[in-house]
Homo-oligomer: A and B are copies of this chain.
Amino acid sequence: MTVTIKDVAKKAGVSPSTVSRVLSGHPRISLETSRKVKAIMEDMGYTPNMMAKSLVSKTTNSICIILPKPAEELFSNLFFMELIRGIVTQASRSGYDVLISSGANEKEELEAVSRLLKGRRVDGVILLYSRKDDAVIDFLQGGGYPFVLIGRSDRYENILSVDNDNVMAAYDATNHLISMGHERIGFVSGPPNLIVSRDRLEGYRKAMENSGLTMRPEWIVEGEFLQDSGYRAMSFFMNLPNRPTALVAVDDMVSFGVLRGLNELKYKVPDDLAIVSFNNIPLSELSSPPISSIDIGIYHLGYTASQVLIQGIQKPNNDAGYTNRFVIPHRLIVRESSMHTPSKP
């Protein structure tokens, strides 16, 4: 049926081993044989069977990512899509395929990762986000499997990771508002088990303290990376007796929710409430008003993660003193949502 290495060998009058060597560019194959075999492979339409190859080489040339099933309840889909594009593009360039599986919760994720890795279906894993006390990381670390974390671990120092400096990013975002004259600044955070939520909150704190501004506990609310959280946060904030004049939100989707709410209540942005958020998804410049946002280079994050992982797979000299934490630069994109100086009360 399908043409194998043996068929090619027979037709070329050589042994299967020779064909295999031609394929892998073995040095001790005469130019003549090589050319002949290649020609025959070509016209017989030979394609190597990856399964057979993987079986003996114990390598699959593919990596995997696990998509949180209800993606829309965690991050914005756009975030993941950008990440995936970066990962797939780079992997493709390095000759790797990307396998996507999905898991509704940490347990399912662990099962999927374990099955894929122990079943030798993939060579490594990219974890798309970092949370506290992640059992998946324990498994990967314990099993010595190649993996890279997007974000950072709260417990392991020496694992490969690609991250932003989220503390600094939040510091920058907050400082931007402060420099515009704001003093009462609120913060809409994400799920507390996500490291990124904590880091950004931390940056906000630092900036506030650094400028000697008072921080009220009621000015910090937790939510998801979702519009609804923004909507709820907005109505909470606007009902406060001494309400903030500006907000830092952990994700652009949250800002959209805030915007929607303010719009319904006929408040103006940035006049009544200025806002800046994170991720700079393609739509943040499309809303009205356009949202100031910290661009964290999502595509780049994915691209780098893939690159780092594949390098780690190909030469596992991870013990060397090289850096294993890669930081993707961020930058603040100022748009209309934060372009207003509050009037002093």
Q: Cβ of A119 < 8 Å from any Cβ of B?
A: yes
Contact B47 A118, beta carbon cutoff 8 Å: yes
Within 8 A of B (CB), among A87-132: 88-89, 92, 97-102, 114-116, 118-121
A256 and B100 alpha carbons, distance in the complex (Å):
31
Whether, in the assembled complex, A283 has its beta carbon less than 8 Å from a beta carbon of chain B, the answer is yes
* A62 interfacial by beta-carbon distance below 8 Å: yes
Residues 242-257 of chain A: 1 if any B CB is under 8 Å from the residue's CB, otherwise 0? 0000000000000010
Interface check A155, CB cutoff 8 A: no
4 further A-B contacts with Cβ under 8 Å, apart from A47-B115, A84-B84, A98-B99, are A55-B55, A81-B84, A99-B100, A283-B286
Bound-state CA distance A51–B99 (Å) is 15
Find out whether the CB atom of A85 lies under 8 angstroms from the CB atom of B92. Answer: no
Q: Which of A100, A120, A256, A260 has the most CB of B within 10 A?
A: A100
A114 to B2, CA, bound (A): 13
The reply to whether B71 and A100 contact each other, CB–CB distance below 8 Å, is no
Assess whether A192 is interfacial by the CB under 8 Å rule.
no
The listed residue (B62, B99, B115, B260) touching A286 by CB distance below 8 A is B260
Q: Is residue A141 contacting chain B, with contact meaning CB distance below 8 A? A: no
Tell me how far the C-beta of A337 lies from the nearest C-beta in chain B, rounded to whole angstroms: 13
C-alpha spacing A11/B35, complex, angstroms = 49
Which residues from B are CB-within-8-Å of A80? 81
Q: Closest CB of chain B to A73's CB: distance in Å?
A: 12
Q: Is the CB of A102 within 8 A of B121?
A: no
Q: Give, as a whole number of angstroms, the nearest-CB distance from A198 to chain B.
A: 26
Say whether A311 faces chain B, with CB atoms less than 8 Å apart.
Answer: no
Query: B81, B98, B119: which contacts A78 (Cβ < 8 A)?
Result: B81
**A121: which B residues are within 8 A, CB to CB?**
50-51, 97
Check A50 against B81 for contact (C-beta < 8 Å).
no
11 contacts between A and B (CB under 8 A): A47-B115, A47-B119, A49-B119, A50-B119, A51-B51, A78-B78, A81-B81, A92-B102, A97-B100, A98-B99, A263-B288
In the complex, which residues 1-32 of chain A have their Cβ closer than 8 Å to any Cβ of chain B? 2
A291 to B99, CA, bound (A): 35
